Structure 1
């Protein structure tokens, strides 16, 4: 099956994440914080955190709340994994910002082109 998306795997993972959130009885904020804790415990790569950026924003999570979760789980999973998680989260946020900027530039260029026509 062909797809027109530039990032079909990431989009599928994001859709799975949103579907899971909708079918879970937990409120969105504690659910995302629980998932972040689980990702940290698994030593997940940055791309795994990326699927949770949009749900975290929609749940109105703050950087401080995410930091508090990492502090809370550090004695259980270890400081090395917490530091790795912090780096992976930062990387995922940087990627999300870069994609958003790229999308905004593409939209601005398309709008500019349509005005010229």
Structure 2
């Protein structure tokens, strides 16, 4: 364990970095594609949370996310879309809450 403190997280970071380096999509398109992929694989809320900050930083709105889920619904099916909507809402709510808490702390300290 001394060699690697966080082997799983480190691997995920490496994979994501390689993907971003080789991707020709602009950041907004990339995040929309990632949301669609998360829905397609029935990803858990934690996976959406890992992408929520990036999505918000490139201007992905709730309407954008809903549009993606509507677009993929005929392909991935109702149960996955419903689960994706729930997971995405939970992740975005949590991410927004974290962001607001960080801003409040920064204001209190500054």
- The alignment's TM-score, normalised by the length of structure 2, stands at 0.75
The size of the alignment, in residue pairs, is 105
Between the aligned partners of 2:100 and 2:63, the Cα distance in structure 1 is 24
Residue aligned with 1:25, SS? coil
- Equivalent in the alignment of 1:98: 97
Structure index of larger Rg: 1
Shift in CA distance, 60/16, structure 1 to aligned 2, threshold 3 Å: farther
RMSD, aligned α-carbons: 2.8
Matched, 1:56 2:55: yes
Contact 1:14 1:52 survives alignment (8 Å) = no
Structure 1 gaps, min length 5: 4-8, 112-117
Using structure 1 for the length normalisation, give the TM-score.
Answer: 0.71
**1:67-82 pair list within 5 angstroms:** 67-82=66-81
Partner in structure 2 of residue 32 of structure 1 = 31
Post-superposition offset of 1:18: 6.0
